[in-house]
Amino acid sequence: MVTSPRPTPSRRPRTLQYHATAGDRPLAAGRVIVVGIIAFALGALLNADSLYALANRQPFGWKRTLARGVATPVRGLSHLTRLNEPRAAIQEAIGRDPEAGTRSVSKVTATTRPADAPLPAVRLRQPTADNPLKLWVGGDSMVQEVGTSVVEKATDRGTVTADLDYRISTGLTRPDYFDWPAHLRDEVLPARPEVVMIMFGANDAQPMEVDGKPYAVRTPEWQAEYRRRVALTMDLLGGDGRLVIWVGQPTMRKAEFSERMDILDEIYRREAARRPWVRFVDSRSVLAPDGGGYSAYLPGEDGQPQLARQSDGIHLSRFGADRLADAVLAALDKELAQAPKGGGPASTTRPSAPPTTTP
Amino acid sequence: MLFPTFEFAVFFSLTFVGSWLLRPRPVAWRWFILAASYVFYAWWDPRFVLLLAGSTVVNQAAAAAIARLPAPAARRAVLIVAVVANLTVLGFFKYYGFFLTSVTDALAGIGLHTSPPLLQVVLPIGISFFTFQALSYVIDTYRGDTEPSPTLDFAVYLSFFPHLVAGPIVRARELLPQLNERPDPRRIDAALAFRLIFAGLFKKVVVSSFVATAIVEPVFANPGQHQNLEILFAVYGYAVQIYADFSGYTDIAIGCALLLGLRFPQNFDAPYAATSIQSFWRKWHMTLSFWLRDYLYIPLGGNQGGEHRMRRNLLLTMVIGGLWHGAAWTFVVWGAIHGLALVAERAWEQRQQALGVVAGRWSPVLRWAVTFHVVCLAWVFFRAESFAKAGELLWRLLTAWGAGTLVRPMLVFVVVAMVAAQFVPAGFVGRAQAVFSRAAPVVQGVCLALGLLVIDALGPTGVAPFIYFQF
């Protein structure tokens, strides 16, 4: 192997002669390692809450246990030496919660309605430009596309105002990362939306902690707990005459992942069927209209194939999102068709049986 | 494996130590760097490594054949086969669906309805970058600008992880000679490397994420809901976002390579300070624009053959450059806007010279403003998901008068500061870097830790992929 002395800058191609380093003192590799160790060690203490939150976000399993095992003492030392405070001060200054993601919440904190509470009913009214319908659209990253389409199509009517509120990498299995029921209770419902469109699930097919023990998706324990959380969320959203449109997961490209989504869809469908204020929109029938499996392309209005899914085989393209948004708005229109003219109650649907969920 | 993640910090720390320990053993060092690069690439999808390895073998065989064959016709034939093979692979992975749907739509337009065999091809990350690097190696060998290197060297050159997935596009003659050097482990340009890495992290994690969520994403998703001041700042914001995102990535890449003793070409040089479109392309994604100049514009004829042919070559180069970025007609329009602007700018300058017009005092300011806004106009098509969306956005920019709610003081500050920062003299930053390089290790470590604090505290939870990964 040919070796040569370090070339002077002038011997290098012109494109490599940039950024003045003439005044710099080069460092030895050993010293770079020392600087790096100091930077990482002190940086870990300064950002200990963030590291701990990162460890918490990992899927349940040995990696999370290990990460928390490392992050916990670092966080303890950081709090002991108060080195966590500069980051907390910065976070508070920009309006964030410095403790976000560090709380050990493994149960959803919202509670379902008492069994003897009045049963919610859908009471929509005919919206007008002066008194538009209030629509809230939220969920995980799948909602980034479909929510955008729903909001655009709905607001184009001129009689609907809409808020889009999607949170990437969230769902119902990890309230320690983002507690959707608490968010709905504290941030969304106080604004009294008349229609809610919600979509979860793509991040939910991961192990879930139940009573301190992690369970896999296919176990009865996991499914019972997930069903409870779905039911709780649906119950939470009911009331004030509100219509809840719950959108199911589409078929995914990877068969194994898609089978896990089947499990979730079945839970959504069954729980929605038990609650007259919830309409379940089956995205599979929209995005695989022939009842077939995953399809990246769908025929457009002119019959020509259009790309409906993103390259990850999970998320929707804008065309696919538009198609699903049409189904969502069709569900809304079906309810609005029953709404009385003049703003009175649309329908007072009574459930045949009360919700059976328990906190 | 994304740069601004804990995984990459661990990966790079181990690679740094291993690389310098093995540097005295050139062959072992090469195998080590190759293995590290393949691990880095396999982190996304192990299957992609096969494609990278396949590209290495095929292009090395082509370069070796070109160097060995005496007959010019045979050499040219091998070159053509290699170029076609590279472009076919790139075309299949990147343009298959786009090509078929475009053809199907065109046929439907004349009443011919077809059912093409549509597939959703998964795009291997970074394929556009390493394909262009492989092409430059084979073409440079054909031109006699470089000698074929040993296969292991070429494999390291093509897969070297800092540039692998989003550039800069490093030429063979820039990196291969460095593999044969023995850099002194006592003389690492660490101050520059740290500056680039931390500036890159700040731009990507803090600036790009903030501008994207504060205004770019909501406005580009639903322009119909926003007023023209919001739209104006969304367009300016996207100019800032894509600069912060892409230059942030390449800063980190260049810094990581520097810490390993290797130097990459510069990729950005304050592009928004440019006072002409031509100057912009000498400052923006420089390794791509120089690549397009050397391997497309000049072979097309370049400036030779008269003004008309030169304009055609310029336009063609920019349109193809646009298509390189993505399989959509919006990218073609983005390239066409730049091509037309280059042509118009050249014609204007020739006219001014012919008339003997002397530039006025405010001419640089005016030229900067025109250049910046032409670039921003082109970004609208680059970012918009369809022509309809781009048209709606531009229409509302002109007609939907109002301030909206998204243009807040912090957003205005960030956008203005990022553009203004491009006018900061390099000497100022260089002096600060020199002071840092002479500080004690503890002081340096504390400075970097404070940098981590600021980036982490101001950045969002989680990191979005880099924009240029999709290209």
Whether residues B120 and A29 touch (CB distance < 8 A) is answered with no
Residue in chain A nearest B10 by alpha carbon:
A40
Chain B CA closest to residue A310: B120
A-chain residue closest to B107, CA distance: A304
User: In this predicted model, what pLDDT tens digit does every residue of B348-391 receive, in sequence order?
Assistant: 988 888 888 877 778 889 999 999 999 999 999 999 988 988 99
- Concerning whether B325 is annotated as a catalytic residue, the answer is yes
Q: What pTM does this model have?
A: 0.81
In 3D, which of B341, B206, B192, B207 has the Cα closest to residue B279? B341
Give the pLDDT score at A345.
46
Contact yes or no for A137/A162 (Cβ under 8 A)? yes
Residues 140-169 of B with CB under 8 A from A: none
CB contact under 8 A, B108 and A21: no
* pLDDT tens for each residue of A24-34: 888 899 999 99
Closest CA to B470 of B391, B382, B404, B389: B382
Burial A252-272 (b: 16+ CB within 10 A, else e): bbeeebbebbbbbbebbeebb
Marked catalytic residue, from B163, B226, B285, B325? B325
Contact state of B446 with A313 under an 8 Å Cβ cutoff:
no
Q: What angle do CA B374, B376, B377 make, to 5 degrees?
A: 65
Q: Each residue of A37-86: pLDDT tens digit?
A: 999 999 999 999 999 988 888 877 788 888 889 999 999 999 999 999 99
Give the SS3 label for residue A209.
Answer: strand
Q: Give me the residues of B, 358-417, that contact A with CB < 8 A.
A: 385-386
Which residues in chain A are contacts of B173 at CB distance < 8 A? Answer: 13
Q: Under DSSP, is residue A197 helix (H, G, I), strand (E, B) or coil?
A: strand
Count how many Cα atoms sit within 13 Å of the Cα of residue B411 in the half-sphere of its side chain.
Answer: 23
Question: Exposed e or buried b for every residue in A50-78, given b needs 16+ CB within 10 A?
Answer: bbbbbbbbbebeeebeebbeebeebbeeb
| pLDDT band per the 50, 70, 90 thresholds, residue B342 | very high
B461/chain A closest Cα distance in angstroms: 9
Chain A residues 256-315 with a CB less than 8 Å from chain B:
296-297, 302-307, 309, 311, 313
CB A25 within 8 A of CB B438: yes
Which of 3.40.1190.20, 3.40.50.300, 2.120.10.80, 3.40.50.1110 would CATH assign to domain A133-336?
A: 3.40.50.1110
> For the segment B204-255, what is each residue's pLDDT rounded down to a tens digit?
999 999 999 899 988 998 888 889 999 999 999 999 999 999 999 999 999 9
A2 neighbourhood in chain B, CB within 8 Å: 180
B454 inside 8 A of chain A by CB: yes
pLDDT-derived band at B462, boundaries 50, 70, 90: low
Per domain, the residue ranges of chain A are 28-104, 133-336
- A220 in B contact zone (CB under 8 Å): no
Nearest to B448 among A28, A31, A39 (CB): A39
Angstrom distance (rounded) from CA A50 to CA A219: 32
Mutate to test the interface with B, among A3, A24, A78, A141 (most CBs of B within 10 A): A24
Residue matched to tokens 């053509």? B80
Is residue A6 predicted with pLDDT exceeding 60?
no
In tens, the pLDDT along A245-272 reads 999 999 998 888 999 999 999 999 999 9
Could you give the percent of chain A with pLDDT greater than 90? Answer: 43
Confidence of residue A13 (pLDDT cuts 50, 70, 90): low
A111 touches B at CB < 8 Å: no
pLDDT digits (tens, 9 = 90+) for B48-64: 899 999 999 999 999 99
The residue type found at A237 is L
The DSSP annotation for B336-366 comes to HHHHHHHHHHHHHHHHHHHHTPPP-TTHHHH
If we measure between CA atoms, which residue out of B210, B173, B188 comes closest to residue B291? B173
